[in-house]
Structure 1
Amino acid sequence: MEREQQLKAWVQQITALDEAAQKAAADHLDDLTKPPGSLGKLEELTIRLAGITGKKQPSFSKKAVIVMASDHGVVEEGVSSFPAEVTQQMVHNFLAGGAAVNVLARHAGAEVICVDIGVNGEPVHPDLVSRSVRKGTANMAKGPAMSREEALQAILTGIDVVQESVRKGTQLFVTGEMGIGNTTPSAAVTSVLTGVSVQEATGKGTGLDQAGVQHKANVIARAIQLNQPAPNDPIDVLAKVGGLDIAGLAGVIIGSAALKCPVVIDGYISTAAALVASRIAPACRNYMIASHMSEERGHAALLQTLELSPLLQVGMRLGEGTGGVLCLHLIEAAGRIMDEMATFSSAGVSGGNEKAEAEL
């Protein structure tokens, strides 16, 4: 009960977006030397960032990708083309700076924070954030993935990691994850919370063939039937058919919103976490920026349910936070437009506010 109250207190801190800052940003955009709205989603992004931060022209000098790493007991059902030990091996790869998200984060000027929230092993590294709730979830095809208390602990862990990072100056977060088999609980969460069929929610993951995808869908359907997660209780869904990485990311999203930081949502697993977060704290949806449309089946249903429009569609399905990090360049571009582009008056160009006033 204590953890429920702690989470509730964080949820209550999330406020509506700053409308005055949004209006100021919109007015400035309309005064720039371009037709109104001609930069499309870049302008929408700029206005959203202003509302989140309360600043007309926000900047983000310190950005972080939080990679939640955990194992999934359901892997023993043969739902992944990679063995479970790859989770721990990839954690070491992240910490050595050799994964795709590390490369893209370096290019975007973002820090990668790797969190062991449930790896089935003993990864050790001075840069690893060790916050293990348990050594991987149980096999959800045989019973609940974890207890409700463990799901709550994982959510609060995500919030704590954000809070610690904000204290060190981080202003913007990207969601990332690593966990062999984690598209399986993501598909289960998607099906339960959106109402789409298990078939519609289940994709190739790490590269399953058609028979493998069908087997995976059968395992998910069996897990849902066995555990009977309550669609109106997102924590129950997490506990019964979710994952520690998904729960941790839900916490990252809630914590970011509570602390008025934009949070860039990566692909399928991250967006499943985003839907969980939005069901726990509906106001946090306004703080989310959808980065890309994953090739993983079911991602579109999640984005549609969240009413989020992704900035990119580049056929990615790697996870780790890679699509989210790519969007940091668009966020930087939005800031540069606001800071560096001339206004009609400063450039001596006709057709800006003068034209608008003449039409009144």
Structure 2
Amino acid sequence: MTEPVFPLRSLAEVATLADRLPAPDATMAEAARTRQAQLTKPQGSLGMLEEMVELMAAVRGTARPVIDRAQALVFAGNHGVCAQGISQFPQEVTVQMVANFHSGGAAINQLCRAAGAQLDVIEIDLDKPTADFTQAAAMTEAECLDAINRGAAAVDPAADVLIVGEMGIGNTTIAAALAAGICGGAGADWVGMGTGVNPEGVARKAAAVDAGLARHAGLDPMGTLAALGGREEAAMAGAVLAARAHRILVILDGFVCTAAVAPLHAADPRLLDHCIVGHVSAEPGHRRLLATLGKKPVLDLGMRLGEASGAAVALLVLRAALECHNGMATFGEAGVSSA
């Protein structure tokens, strides 16, 4: 980079970032692909493991990428649209779960320990929920920018890989609204049961999304993030952009996380060229959203927890892929005929 990118000064800057941030190195991807062809296995026989290594080689700028440092970022925020009865849990649960993260008692704590990732939990103004997007824009541009820049600032420049996730009561409704706002369709096309709401709750979620779409139609992608999103979604988008600036591979989590970066893809699809999707969520909108973004998930385990939990499991798969790439013998080294 020839000039500092962060903090961003306007949402309009996002559409220019693909030309200002380092792009994946196709030469290094090809070098990794060449090495894969020399290893003691049939070509392509490790499937997506090989694809993951090639992308990491391109992002990190080396044919033999390694993970010396993995960072997990979980952002937490609260949402005004909860006033519409779209969650079975009160927003106080967000605060309580953040405390659980800090004390080490959540699923993501255990998964990060297993995957070898440093977990950082960033709560963003939990005492100040966003506005109810059925009545007004969830965030002003200044509020959205603040969350984006806070997410960017949380990224460790020394990390080799970043996994991102969230916590926030009501944020599957936020994800559905963002997905519909970016990709089209109605609320009923995107909402799911979230934390376990009944059919009447799902209907309230769809109605809230439809009301938000009607109120905030015609906005550009980043305007849609501000109008329909939440602080933790904006922070995840900022972290993904900062990871690109530092040439860090990103493993995205489930529906909420993917919806959070959908506005980046809509602003310029190249902005997600350094990202892998860790898993496909059981939330019904996620598979459809991945198809729209052209992303293939690493895992399909029926998970819908959030917290970067699916991304953390995918990090274990990435570590396995790199062990094979860097540790296997070539045909020549092993004295095995390749033909």
For residues 246-301 of structure 1, give each alpha carbon's deviation from its aligned partner in whole angstroms, at most 9, with x where no partner exists. Answer: 11101111111121100100000100012122233432221001110100021012
Correspondence 1:102-181 to 2 at 5 A: 102-120=109-127, 135-162=128-155, 165-166=156-157, 169-181=158-170
Q: Does 1:46 find its partner at 2:53?
A: yes
1:235 Cα shift? Answer: 1.7
Partner of residue 90, structure 1: 97
Q: Distance in 2 between matches of 1:321 and 1:298?
A: 17
Unaligned runs of 5+ residues in structure 2 are 1-7
Task: Determine if the alignment matches structure 1 residue 225 to structure 2 residue 214.
Answer: yes
Matches within 5 A, 1:1-360: 2-4=9-11, 11-120=18-127, 135-162=128-155, 165-166=156-157, 169-230=158-219, 233-350=220-337, 352=338, 355=339
Does the 8 Å CA contact 1:66/1:175 hold for their aligned counterparts?
yes
- Tell me the TM-score normalised to structure 1 length: 0.89
Between the aligned partners of 1:157 and 1:6, the Cα distance in structure 2 is 16
Q: Match of 2:5?
A: none
Distance 1:220 1:64, change over 3 A: same
Q: In the superposition, relative to structure 1, how do residues 305 and 8 fare at CA in structure 2: closer, same or farther (>3 Å)? A: closer
How many corresponding residue pairs? 332
Q: Distance in 2 between matches of 1:199 and 1:5?
A: 30
Q: Which stretch of structure 1 is more off in the superposition, 332-341 or 221-230? A: 221-230
Q: Say if 2:180 and 2:187, in contact at 8 Å, map to a contact too.
A: yes
| Deviation (angstroms), 1:44 | 0.8
CA distances 1:169-196 after superposition (whole Å, capped 9, x unpaired): 2221101101000111110110111113
**Residue pair 1:154, 1:248 contacting (<8 A) in 2 also:** yes
Larger Rg: 1
CA distance in 2 between counterparts of 1:27 and 1:11 reads 27
* Worse-superposed segment, 51-60 or 151-160: 151-160
Q: State the 1:314 CA deviation.
A: 0.3
SS in 2 for 1:311: strand
Query: Which whole-Å CA distance do the structure 1 matches of 2:146 and 2:218 have between them?
Result: 19
Name the amino acid aligned to 2:233. I
The CA distance in 2 between the partners of 1:67 and 1:175, in whole Å, is 6
Return the alpha-carbon distance in structure 2 between the equivalents of residues 12 and 88 of structure 1: 38
SS of residue paired to 2:149: helix
Q: Deviations over 1:302-345 (max 9, x none)?
A: 11111110010000000000000001111111111112111111
What amino acid is aligned across from residue 38 of structure 2 in structure 1? D
Q: Distance in 1 between matches of 2:185 and 2:47?
A: 31
CA offset at residue 5 of structure 1? Answer: 7.1
Letter in 1 for 2:333: S
Distance 1:285 1:99, change over 3 A: same
TM-score (norm 2): 0.94
Task: Supply the AA of the counterpart residue of 2:299.
Answer: L
Rounded Cα–Cα distance in structure 2 between residues aligned with 1:281 and 1:261: 19
Which ranges of structure 1 fall in alignment gaps of 5 or more residues? 121-134, 356-360
Task: Summarize the Cα distance change of 1:144–1:5 in structure 2 as closer, same or farther, 3 Å threshold.
Answer: closer
Distance 1:34 1:272, change over 3 A: same
**Residues 1:157 and 1:279: Cα distance change in structure 2 (over 3 Å):** farther
Q: Which moved more, 1:243-252 or 1:276-285?
A: 276-285
Flag the 1:264–1:33 CA change in 2: closer, same or farther, 3 A.
same
Q: Which moved more, 1:169-178 or 1:96-105?
A: 169-178
Contact 1:253 1:277 in 2 (8 A): no
Code of the residue aligned with 2:63 in structure 1: it is: K
